[in-house]
Chain A
Amino acid sequence: DAGVTQSPTHLIKTRGQQVTLRCSPKSGHDTVSWYQQALGQGPQFIFQYYEEEERQRGNFPDRFSGHQFPNYSSELNVNALLLGDSALYLCASSKRTGWSTEAFFGQGTRLTVV
């Protein structure tokens, strides 16, 4: 059973460019959440997708957008990249219930903006 997979694993972009990161959730999971982890910090919530809609959003600008596909996979798009967007981007998948369930993380995409 494949866990959460993210692609690419590493990426280098130039300021002002746009980037798309991809995530395939664990089998049986229907909810995908994206987190940004800067060096030396804990992961910060960006947004969550369920049933192809953004359900919740953290304190991130509109430059950060996403999408969820019918097969539950998801994309994170960042426009007009800034140096400060350099971070590890983590995708977490879970099964949507009314109770807390374990979230499984992908290995992350390390984005460097130069």
Chain B
Amino acid sequence: RKEVEQDPGPFNVPEGATVAFNCTYSNSASQSFFWYRQDCRKEPKLLMSVYSSGNEDGRFTAQLNRASQYISLLIRDSKLSDSATYLCVVNILGNTPLVFGKGTRLSVIA
């Protein structure tokens, strides 16, 4: 079983749609959780951290369920500029390596 598993993509959605990405992780000792965004042929960039209480940043909402070892990302009112690959990332402790999922590609269509 992979350490971090994500929904297989790609997701093709119209502008204005709401889209949800899911992710599961296998190591129950994991402490920190993130969503990174990666544009085509670019480096990953932190989109948002994920907290147990859930957190929101504008149109983006991230949630964590430690009991189920499940992380989600919800994007509301999708924009063309949201088209990218979204990587689910898990970290055990601050100095341990980031563990990435395979990524889910999102294409927002006009």
Q: Hey, which chain B residues are within 8 Å of A99, CB to CB?
A: 94
Q: Do the beta carbons of B97 and A56 come within 8 Å of each other?
A: yes
Q: Hey, which chain B residues are within 8 Å of A96, CB to CB?
A: 94-95
Complex Cα–Cα for A35 and B99 (A): 10
Q: Do the beta carbons of B95 and A31 come within 8 Å of each other?
A: yes
Q: Do the beta carbons of B87 and A42 come within 8 Å of each other?
A: yes
Q: Of the 9-residue stretches B12-20, B37-45, B58-66, B75-83, which lies at the interface with chain A?
A: B37-45
Nearest CB of chain B from residue A53's CB, rounded to whole Å: 13
Cβ of A100 < 8 Å from any Cβ of B?
Answer: yes
Residue from B87, B94, B97 within 8 A of A101 (CB atoms): B94
Contacts known (A42-B87, A42-B102, A42-B103); A98 close to B95, Cβ less than 8 A: yes
Chain A residue with Cβ nearest B87:
A42
Digitize A93-110: 1 where CB-to-B-CB distance is under 8 Å, 0 elsewhere.
Answer: 000111111110111101
Cβ of B25 < 8 Å from any Cβ of A?
Answer: no
Cβ of B93 < 8 Å from any Cβ of A?
Answer: yes
Chain B residue with Cβ nearest A107:
B43
Cβ of A90 < 8 Å from any Cβ of B?
Answer: yes
Q: Is the interface of B mostly helix, strand, loop or mixed?
A: loop
Residue from B32, B100, B101 within 8 A of A100 (CB atoms): B32
Nearest CB of chain A from residue B59's CB, rounded to whole Å: 21
Nearest CB of chain B from residue A46's CB, rounded to whole Å: 9
Cβ of A64 < 8 Å from any Cβ of B?
Answer: no
Q: Do the beta carbons of A41 and B42 come within 8 Å of each other?
A: no
Q: Do the beta carbons of B100 and A107 come within 8 Å of each other?
A: no
Cβ of A63 < 8 Å from any Cβ of B?
Answer: no
Complex Cα–Cα for A111 and B23 (A): 29
Contacts known (A97-B94, A99-B94, A101-B94); A107 close to B99, Cβ less than 8 A: no
The 6 closest A-B pairs by CB, nearest first: A42-B100, A100-B32, A45-B97, A105-B43, A100-B94, A99-B94
**Chain A contact residues, CB within 8 Å of chain B:** 31, 33, 35, 40-45, 48, 50, 55-56, 58, 88, 90, 92, 96-103, 105-108, 110
